[in-house]
Structure formats: structure tokens, C-alpha cells
A and B are shown apart, each in its own frame.
Chain A
Amino acid sequence: MTPSDIQLQADGRLRHFLTIDGLDRRLLTDILDTAESFTGVSERTIKKVPLLRGKVICNLFFENSTRTRTTFEVAAKRLSADVLNLNISTSATTKGETLLDTLRNLEAMHVDMFVVRHADSGAAHFIARHAAPHVSVINAGDGRHAHPTQAMLDMFTIRRNKGDFTGLRVAIVGDILHSRVARSQILALNTLGTSEVRVIAPRTLLPADCRSLGVHVFHDLEQGIRDVDVIIMLRLQKERMRGALLPSEHEYFQLYGLTETRLRQARDDAIVMHPGPINRGVEMDSQVADGPRSVILQQVSFGIAIRMAVMSMALGSQAGGQA
């Protein structure tokens, strides 16, 4: 079964949200439109709608992530769902068995949705394949593979600031090799019809197959961001690096750190994004991070709306399937 088969219902609606791969432009646009309608909820006196009242959503985090877990939790609570937070440290050897056992136990507690973060690529797919038929799974980041809700909140931020994807030049800068975010972003940008997607990185931080993803590759930052509308900076994934891929962080900043001076190469109205957490003075200057072009905090707010959209669409399609 291919990933897209498993994450869609027979009628084409979203059942799980595991990867951008295999989802068409219409569905991605549906997610963005639905998120748009949820943005207002955060500005009300009562920041809640009753849509998922009585549903139980379990945050299953095998890898730490305060921001992602918190925004998923806030999103679920704004939809009136009950939330269970489980932080499970992985034991590398018995993982397969432990995962299934954990799953069965939680299903016995009548959980309706798992939000899964795991250091291994494919973990969310594994859980989706083995979960009970009424359960939906959302991938909150699996290894180097995918982080689809992060990619969609980035698409939402771009659409809010730039209106449309056609005609846009977008540059993704940094550790493409270890980044599940970059992989999902590239897929989403191309599916939504972005004119040009560039990746800018040292050769050691680029995957071998990266041209096949439909991107233009640059090794020089200033050259790469020339005339772009959107710059997405990636975090250096120090925890995933094995061996000497970089001489030093200082060296990295000298070559790939975004500064006000370098930013002048981009279009005057270019926006700067970062999935967080920022390593200030490594990926970018504080001046840029806190500057007028930075939309980094918008990304966090929009992350809640995107997660509300994906959760309600997946659980809503489950409902339809039973009718």
C-alpha cells in the first residue's frame, strides 16, 4: 500500500495525515482554506469551538518537541477535544513491539486520534497501518522523512503574506539532508504550483537525489537568495548529525548565516521564515530574526490553525465513513 492510499478515504477525503507525498493541489488548498476559517477562533472571548467535543486525541511523542506538542495540544483543545500527552523515551532495541503494545493499550482507552512524533522515519505510517479502523493518525515528524503539518503551516504563512504560489521564488537554506521539514516543504511548494524552488546548502548537507525533487541547487547563499520572495531557513539538526559534516558553527554562519547585508540580495518585500527553534548567530543574525521581514512568530500562530484544520478534516472523514 502506498502512503497516499493509506492516508485517504475511498472518497478521497483525508483519513490520516502522514506525508504531503501523493496529496493533490485541491486537497492541500482545502487544508489551507479550512485553516483560514479557524484563525478567527483564537481571537474570540471563548477560544473554543465544539467541533470535536467528546473526541480523545493522544499526543504520542517519542522525541521531544515542546513547540510542536504544545501547538497540537492547543489546537485540539480549541476544538474541544480531550488531550492525552504521552512522552515516551524510545528503547532502540525493542521499539517495534513496544510501539504496538503502547498502541493497543491506548486504543483500549478509546483514543480517536494519535499525533505521532518519532525519531525513526516511517513510524507514523507504521502506527497508521496497525491502528484500529476508527483511529486517525497525524504525523508530527518522523525521522528524516516528513513533517507535513509544519510544511502546511509554512504554506499558510506564505499564502497569507504573498497571496498565491504562482510567480513565487522560494529558497530553502541549510541542512536539507537531515530535514524532514525541507522534504515536506519542497513537495508542498511544487504541488501548489510555486514557480521556482531553490535549495541552498553546503554539499555535505544535501541529499544525493535532491535534484529529482524538482529544485534548483545552490551552494552560495547570496547567489541563491537573489530576487527570491521567500527565504526559509532551516535549523542545523545537530542531534541527527553523525561525523564531521561541518567544520564548525562559526564557519557555517560565515558562509550560510543570514544577515541584513545578505538579505539585500532578495526582493525588497521578501519574507524570512524559520521552523524554530532558532540557533541565533548560527542560521541567522538576531537582527534578521527579530527584524521586519521575519514572520517566524506568525508561523507559530498559524501552526495552531493548520493543526485544527487537519485534525477536524481527518476526524470528520472518519465520521462520514461510518454513515
Chain B
Amino acid sequence: MNNNSYLKNAAIEGLLTEMAQDIRSRLDTAQISDPAMIGIHTGGAWLAERLHQGLAIGSPLGTLDISFYRDDFTRIGMNPEVKPSHIPFPVEDRHIILVDDVLHTGRTIRAAMNEIFDYGRPASIMLVSLVERSGRELPIQADVVGIHTPLDADQHITLSGPEPLALTINQGGRNARKDCTT
């Protein structure tokens, strides 16, 4: 297995600033004044924390662990490191900004949206992802993306953090991450 550093903290912070601007202009265009933000465990939650602060969002930040909504439970079983989901605001009729680190197959986002709907019916969901890579298996796309990264099927990109943030590309090891549903 081969690990390559892809982006370091400063570069990621730069991307986050651009993403925050993009989110702001989309909110303005859609005339959304009071959005709420949810980060997906674990990497998405780190990024959401920074974006939430940067955009000065009024509602407290929500976090989502999609382990109970995964479509591969019957194949791989229970994730032993599952964290509680925590949505500290009513989802009903809210405009939600959903943040993840890497958009890959789209299955995590499918699971996350199902989970959000179990808290209530949001007015809209905007998908924000630091990395958009190739390999989509579901018709899901991000609204705001930090960087587009074309990768081979056997390459994996991983965000580590929370301090400092870093993106690493792993070559060849399918088992490089326990959670391969990105």
C-alpha cells in the first residue's frame, strides 16, 4: 500500500473559505436567511464545524452518524465506533446544509437523507462536499464542492483531522478504511 499526501491543512482551509462564499451566494440567491447545518461523522463534522463558524449560522450545528442507515449492514454488520446522531434543532421546514468530506458512491448521502427525514421534513437540502471524486453509484451530486479529484477505482482519499486537516490518497488497499461507503 502506498500513502500520498494530497492536500495539507492550509490548502484545505483555503478551499473551505471558497466553499463558504459559494454557500453564502447560493443562500442569497434562494433567499434563505436562516439555514441549519449538519455534518456527517467524522470528517464531515470537522468541516461543518469550520463552515458553521465561517458562515455565522444561528442554529447550533447538527451531526449525523449514518451507521444505522447503511445499506451494507447485512454484509458487514455493526460499526463498533458508531457515534450518536445529534440534531439540536427541529428539521421540519428547515433549509439544511449537509456537509461531508468525500462524495464517492453517493450511498452515505442516500443514508444521511433517509436519516434526516426521520427527524422531520426539511424544506430543502444543499449538499456540500470537500472532495468530489469519481465512482458514483447513485444519482446524487453535490451543490458545493471544494475540489474535483478524478481517482481510479482502487484509490481512496481520506480526510484526517480535526487538527490539522489533511487529505491522503491511499493506493490499492481496499481495506485502507473500515468505512468504504463514501
Contact surface of A with B, Cβ cutoff 8 Å: 13, 30, 33-34, 36-41, 44-46, 48-51, 312-313, 316-320, 323
- Asked whether, in the complex, the Cβ of B118 is within 8 Å of the Cβ of A46, the reply is yes
B114: Cβ under 8 A from any A Cβ: yes
B60: Cβ under 8 A from any A Cβ: no
**Which of A33, A49, A320 contacts B118, CB < 8 Å?**
A49
Once bound together, how far apart are the Cα atoms of A233 and B92, in whole Å?
Answer: 43
Closest approach, in angstroms, between the C-beta of B92 and any C-beta of chain A?
Answer: 8
Closest approach, in angstroms, between the C-beta of B74 and any C-beta of chain A?
Answer: 5
**Which secondary structure dominates chain B's binding surface?**
loop
B14: Cβ under 8 A from any A Cβ: no
- Asked whether, in the complex, the Cβ of A313 is within 8 Å of the Cβ of B65, the reply is no
**Which of A50, A51, A312, A319 contacts B75, CB < 8 Å?**
A319
- Asked whether, in the complex, the Cβ of B73 is within 8 Å of the Cβ of A316, the reply is yes
B56: Cβ under 8 A from any A Cβ: no
Q: Given A37-B65, A316-B78, check contact A44 B84 (CB 8 Å).
A: no
Contact surface of B with A, Cβ cutoff 8 Å: 65, 67-69, 73-78, 80, 82-86, 91-92, 114-115, 117-120
Once bound together, how far apart are the Cα atoms of A60 and B67, in whole Å?
Answer: 29
Once bound together, how far apart are the Cα atoms of A320 and B77, in whole Å?
Answer: 5
Which residues of the other chain, A, contact B115 by a CB distance below 8 angstroms? Answer: 49
Once bound together, how far apart are the Cα atoms of A36 and B119, in whole Å?
Answer: 18
- Asked whether, in the complex, the Cβ of B69 is within 8 Å of the Cβ of A50, the reply is yes
- Asked whether, in the complex, the Cβ of A51 is within 8 Å of the Cβ of B73, the reply is yes
Closest approach, in angstroms, between the C-beta of B41 and any C-beta of chain A?
Answer: 10
Which residues of the other chain, B, contact A312 by a CB distance below 8 angstroms? Answer: 68, 78
Once bound together, how far apart are the Cα atoms of A316 and B75, in whole Å?
Answer: 8
Which residues of the other chain, B, contact A36 by a CB distance below 8 angstroms? Answer: 84
Q: Given A51-B68, A316-B73, A317-B77, check contact A37 B118 (CB 8 Å).
A: no
Once bound together, how far apart are the Cα atoms of A50 and B68, in whole Å?
Answer: 7
Beyond A34-B80, A51-B69, list 17 extra A-B contacts (CB 8 Å): A33-B82, A36-B84, A37-B68, A37-B85, A40-B84, A40-B86, A44-B118, A45-B119, A48-B118, A49-B115, A50-B114, A312-B68, A313-B77, A313-B78, A316-B73, A316-B76, A323-B75
Which residues of the other chain, B, contact A39 by a CB distance below 8 angstroms? Answer: 84
Which residues of the other chain, A, contact B68 by a CB distance below 8 angstroms? Answer: 37-38, 41, 49-51, 312
The chain A residue with its CB closest to the CB of B111 is A50
- Asked whether, in the complex, the Cβ of A319 is within 8 Å of the Cβ of B73, the reply is yes
- Asked whether, in the complex, the Cβ of A319 is within 8 Å of the Cβ of B65, the reply is no
Closest approach, in angstroms, between the C-beta of A193 and any C-beta of chain B?
Answer: 20
Closest approach, in angstroms, between the C-beta of A144 and any C-beta of chain B?
Answer: 31
- Asked whether, in the complex, the Cβ of A316 is within 8 Å of the Cβ of B65, the reply is no
